[in-house]
């Protein structure tokens, strides 16, 4: 059965989508841009600060659904510029210190709200 996941500890959707959807023990987290939930604005700074906020948002959604970072099996990282890859990777790696999920990372022409990063994730409940 499909369950919609929503939390006020992550930014509200900025379009017609859910923060996450859970189906049969698998959680599909929509792409998260670096919005601070309380203000719906991006943090000051650059790619490191934006990646940190995205990962916090993902963590809040995981928690709301009863999952942990260790349950993430796949992430897709969208960057506005591949020159930001190393700095993004440094922050991202601090959340996945072992048994890292599969991942794709690539640059796109533009991201919503002129964000520098967007990350979507898939998590599976550990048995």
- pLDDT (tens digit per residue) in 33-67: 999 999 999 999 999 999 999 999 999 999 999 99
The C-alpha atoms of residue 95 and residue 98 are separated, in whole angstroms, by 9
Q: Structure tokens of 69?
A: 């970072």
CA atoms within 13 A on the CB side of 2: 5
In tens digits, the chain (127 residues) has pLDDT values of 899 999 999 999 988 999 999 999 999 999 999 999 999 999 999 999 999 999 999 999 999 999 999 999 999 999 999 999 999 999 999 999 989 999 999 999 999 999 999 999 999 987 5
Residues 6+ apart with CB under 8 A from 37: 8, 9, 10, 11, 12, 57, 60
Instruction: Determine whether 89 is exposed, middle or buried from the number of CB atoms within 10 Å of its CB (0-12, 13-18, 19+).
Output: middle
Give the chain's domains with CATH numbers: 2-124 (3.30.1330.40)
């Amino acid at each position: 059965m499909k369950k919609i996941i929503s939390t006020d500890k992550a930014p509200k959707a900025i379009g017609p989508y859910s923060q996450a959807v859970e189906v049969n023990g698998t959680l599909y987290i929509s792409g998260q841009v670096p919005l601070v939930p309380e203000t719906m604005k991006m943090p000051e700074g650059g790619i490191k600060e934006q990646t940190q906020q995205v990962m916090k948002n993902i963590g809040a959604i995981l928690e709301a659904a009863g999952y942990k970072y260790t349950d993430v099996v796949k992430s897709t990282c969208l960057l506005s510029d591949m020159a930001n890859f190393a700095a993004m990777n440094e922050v991202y790696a601090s959340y996945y210190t072992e048994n890292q999920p599969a991942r794709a990372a690539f640059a796109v022409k533009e991201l919503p709200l002129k964000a520098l990063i967007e990350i979507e994730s898939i998590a599976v409940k550990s048995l």
